[in-house]
Amino acid sequence: MSAARAQRLVNGWETIRFELLNTPICHLGLEIEGSPVDPLVHRLYRELRQKGLKFRPDVYATDAWGCPDEVPIIGIPFYLLDRRLTRIEEEQTGEVEDNPVIMSLLRHEAGHAINYAYRLYKRPEWLEVFGPFSKPYRDHFRPNPFSRQFVRHLVHHQYGRTYAQKHPDEDFAETFAVWLTPGSNWRQRYRNWPALDKLKYVDRLMRSLKGVEPRVTGGPLCTPMEEMDLLLAEHYGQRAERYRADAQGYVDDKLKEVFPPVRGRFLQRAAALFRKHHNKLLSRVSRWSALEKQEVSTLLTKLEDRAEALDLLFVKRHHAVKVMDVTAMATALAIDYAYTGRLSDD
């Protein structure tokens, strides 16, 4: 490819990108049918059918993965409906779901949906196996990555391999997803795990539902794409601004712990440390917290701004130690936000 043609392609993409970013999401003309994700939805339906289940959860486009509260309908991020939007999502956040991850998420959300469709969470044995569905989601979720009480299904999404530990509903959805996944060989894989009892229960439960029509098929949706009248650019901008607002006021104490008052001749500014190591911190904190890089960058900028405002200093010879300290602090703050949706002020 000639340099001139390559430049024309770059310029063409920039024009398309600009036009898309300045279009309201509800006016992007997106449809699930015929989209890149459509074959994967039908693959999910085939997997359910092969298990003898009559359940076919409806899907709709929204701003994030999930089922509305106790509604058996799967929400799919709108950017997966158009490869151009997928490219923009990757540019904005640094990552995007590939087909294997999409299938993992579809199976997980199908677990929620079938739970709601048949009101399985009201059954006494379900409560005995997974716990009370009414249990509040824990604000401070500290998973045990070595626990064998729970299956491990989602590996690339927000909570990684410990997502089942968050709530009984998530535990069931993850267990169902492992049970549904073709070739998962769950009996062998989990043969020495207490989680095997959960899988056996799901297997018995699903066999009892063969050929049974769902009790509930619809309900109110959460943030349907048709109601998302903000510009695509605002969607990404608001995500970062919301994170910045949530972080306001909650980082000062943490910074003062890492950078206590010091005196001496060879001092450096804490804000300069954040600036110098921003990219390294961004990579490591994003990796260990599973937050999007845009959100981690916003947090790091917030820490830098507050370190500057508080005029925090440290002894120059402690530079390497302080880099490790701020990496740990930023990761802890990011994980807390990932698990709770906010930063703790404890």
- What percent of the chain has pLDDT above 70? 85
pLDDT at 341: 47
CA 326 to chain centre: 24
Q: If you average pLDDT over residues 188-208, what whole number do you get?
A: 96
Contacts of 110 (CB under 8 A, 6+ apart): 44, 48, 57, 74, 176, 177, 180
Q: If you average pLDDT over residues 172-196, what whole number do you get?
A: 95
pLDDT single digits (tens) 92-120: 887 888 999 999 999 999 999 999 999 99
pLDDT single digits (tens) 143-154: 666 788 889 887
Which structure tokens are listed for 18? Answer: 């600009």
In this predicted structure, the answer to whether residue 131 has a pLDDT above a threshold of 80 is yes
pLDDT at 242: 53
The C-alpha atoms of residue 284 and residue 293 are separated, in whole angstroms, by 10
In this predicted structure, the answer to whether residue 245 has a pLDDT above a threshold of 70 is no
Residue 217 burial (CB count, 10 A): 16
Q: Which residue has the tokens 């391999």?
A: 161
Contacts of 171 (CB under 8 A, 6+ apart): 130, 131, 150, 164, 165, 198
In this predicted structure, the answer to whether residue 342 has a pLDDT above a threshold of 50 is no
Q: How many residues does this entry show for the chain?
A: 346
Q: Which range has the worst mean pLDDT, 82-86, 117-121, 298-302?
A: 298-302
pLDDT at 39: 98
pLDDT single digits (tens) 30-84: 999 999 999 999 999 999 999 999 999 999 999 999 999 999 999 999 999 999 9
The C-alpha atoms of residue 229 and residue 152 are separated, in whole angstroms, by 37
In this predicted structure, the answer to whether residue 5 has a pLDDT above a threshold of 60 is no
The amino acid at 13: W
Average pLDDT of the chain?
Answer: 86
pLDDT at 70: 93
pLDDT at 83: 95
In this predicted structure, the answer to whether residue 250 has a pLDDT above a threshold of 70 is no
Q: Which range has the worst mean pLDDT, 57-66, 143-152, 295-304, 333-342?
A: 333-342
Q: Which range has the worst mean pLDDT, 221-225, 245-249, 267-271, 317-321?
A: 245-249
Q: Which 3 state secondary structure label does DSSP give 168?
A: helix
Query: pLDDT-derived band of residue 263, with 50, 70 and 90 as boundaries?
Result: confident
The C-alpha atoms of residue 106 and residue 104 are separated, in whole angstroms, by 6
Q: What is the 3-state secondary structure (H, E, C) of 308-331?
A: HHCCCEEEHHHHHHHHHHHHHHHH
Burial code (b: 16+ CB inside 10 Å, e: under 16) for 78-114 equals bbbbbeebbbbbeebbeebbeeeebbbbbbbbbbbbb
The C-alpha atoms of residue 35 and residue 42 are separated, in whole angstroms, by 12
In this predicted structure, the answer to whether residue 194 has a pLDDT above a threshold of 70 is yes
In this predicted structure, the answer to whether residue 273 has a pLDDT above a threshold of 50 is yes
Q: If you average pLDDT over residues 250-257, what whole number do you get?
A: 80
pLDDT single digits (tens) 155-172: 644 445 567 778 899 999
The C-alpha atoms of residue 153 and residue 168 are separated, in whole angstroms, by 15
pLDDT at 9: 47
pLDDT at 337: 66
pLDDT at 138: 60
